[in-house]
Amino acid sequence: MSEINLKSKEYIQSSNADLSSSAQKNSDTVIEFKNVSKTYQQCIRAVDSASFKISVGEFISLVGPSGAGKSTLIRLLTAAEKPTSGQIYVASRDITQLKKQELPFYHRKVGVIFQDFKLLPRKTVYENIAFALEVADIANKEITERVPKIIEIVGLTSRINAMTEELSGGEKQRVSIARALVHNPKLLIADEPTGNLDPVSTWEIIELLFKINKQGTIVILATHDKEVVDTLERRVISMRDGKIISDQEKGKYVL
Ligand code: ADP
């Protein structure tokens, strides 16, 4: 294992010592799924009677084989889709009842990153992040102040004017994390964020997600990476056939 790889792992494991306190003592429920199901084509139960609560400060791994329902669960939580039945409370509000005009405001409070980054091509790092603020009608002056600060948080200051095509996979994922953070979300959902990355970049991204979590953002990490999940020693929610088959406080990757 490389030195960087080891350093990131050590950082994560040493962080766990002090974090076990803040996350577990704080019982404020921020997210609650109440008997949530999503059925496609009347017979595919992509999510089947899911119930769980998530509190301030938690870092959760969401695991399960392909087709288990992880992406559907994430789309329900981001309000990209509505469940067939059940309620999803986020900060005491049932998001399944959000009106169309309320959705953009909800989306700002939930950052999402993906395996394939979904960056704007032919634009620089700066422009990719500024764009997320422009579409939210943030004033130019504020954009020019905020973007460099966010880029610094993800460690990309030296690449601020690079075109996204020139970046490594790990750097691209940093840009997408920066973009997800522009509105200071209370929740960051990472859907297989390291699926396209080499082991060194994987640990750097996990370390960054850990740092963001330490600043108070809930992180939900959907992943197939057993080594990552087992190293994190955090809560693990496991799904299979749409059902939550286990939910463990200091879980391991078990399928
Ligand atoms: P995972 O992310 O764990 O791989 P998914 O949530 O993508 O699982 O899929 C769960 C199940 O729901 C699968 O059987 C999948 O084929 C089905 N599914 C997901 N999205 C749709 C859709 N838009 N239309 C029909 N079936 C879907």
Q: Which of 37, 39, 40, 245 to mutate to test the pocket of ligand 1 (most atoms within 8 A of CB)?
A: 40
- Looking from the CA of residue 222, the nearest atom of ligand 1 is 2
What residue owns the CA closest to ligand 1's atom 15?
A: 67
Question: Distance (Å, rounded) from C-alpha 4 to C-alpha 52?
Answer: 35
Of 217, 187, 235, 180, the closest CA to residue 63 belongs to 235
Pairing, β 85-90 against β 93-94: antiparallel
Quick check: 12 pLDDT over 90? no
Q: Could you give the C-alpha distances from 161 to 118, 119, 128, 132, 251, in angstroms and in order?
A: 18, 14, 10, 16, 41
Could you count the other beta carbons within 10 Å of the beta carbon of residue 51? 13
Q: Tell me, what's the pLDDT at 254?
A: 77
Helix (H, G, I), strand (E, B) or coil at 39: strand
Q: Is 40 in the pocket of ligand 1 (CB under 6 A)?
A: yes
Q: Tell me, what's the pLDDT at 250?
A: 86
Query: How far apart are the CA of 203 and the centre of ligand 1, in A?
Result: 28
pTM of the model: 0.91
Q: Which of 43, 44, 237 to mutate to test the pocket of ligand 1 (most atoms within 8 A of CB)?
A: 44
Q: Both tokens of residue 245?
A: 């088959």
Query: How far apart are the CA of 197 and the centre of ligand 1, in A?
Result: 24
Quick check: 39 pLDDT over 60? yes
Pairing, β 29-40 against β 85-90: antiparallel
pLDDT band at 22 (very low <50, low <70, confident <90, very high): very low
What residue owns the CA closest to ligand 1's atom 26?
A: 40
